[in-house]
Structure 1
């Protein structure tokens, strides 16, 4: 069973980690400030790529943002692409930048 865990330092910088049977299989680098969760980068261990694990991380991060009433600023190319591909699914948490559709 895959588990998404968050670890933040005192400045609210850190990551969501995807754990599979005690092994870290992916991470999503983030920071939180002023009710905005900024996502910088998503990475899945190459031996686990192609199994939909980035989406598992994305879903865990979005659930956390909703639970804590945060808006998401998707600077990560993967997260931004998913938000653009499924705007209705993420409309409540997506902090769009000026001029973004």
Structure 2
């Protein structure tokens, strides 16, 4: 599984590929050093393979590398960070 991050000014995507086939995507916004994960989508037929977690981890790695805080807006990202709260507590916005 490989991921690719595409950023266009304050908007971006993390795309996941299995071979040459795109199997998932996260949409995010960046405002004032805050990366908001807005939507996580896994393509039908590729569910339950951990792709959504790979996408959130990739977005998290990007945020850490660029010294951004994270605001998980989408329900999957919120759940993922609940399970990884200790590890990423310092980069999550208050209340997450």
Q: Please report the TM-score for the alignment, with normalisation by the length of structure 2.
A: 0.92
Give the structure 2 partner of residue 42 of structure 1: 40
Aligned match for 2:70, one of 69, 72, 94: 72
Cα drift, residue 86 of structure 1: 2.5
Deviations 1:26-57 (A, max 9, x none): 00010112110011110101111001111111
Total equivalences in the alignment = 96
Cα drift, residue 85 of structure 1: 2.7
Name the stretch that deviates more: 76-85 or 59-68.
76-85
* Structure 1 gap ranges (5+): none
Give the structure 1 partner of residue 4 of structure 2: 5
Give the structure 2 partner of residue 89 of structure 1: 87
Query: Where in structure 2 are the equivalents of 1:19-58 lying within 5 Å?
Result: 19-58=17-56
Cα drift, residue 59 of structure 1: 1.0
Q: Secondary structure at the match of 1:48?
A: coil
Q: Please report the TM-score for the alignment, with normalisation by the length of structure 1.
A: 0.87
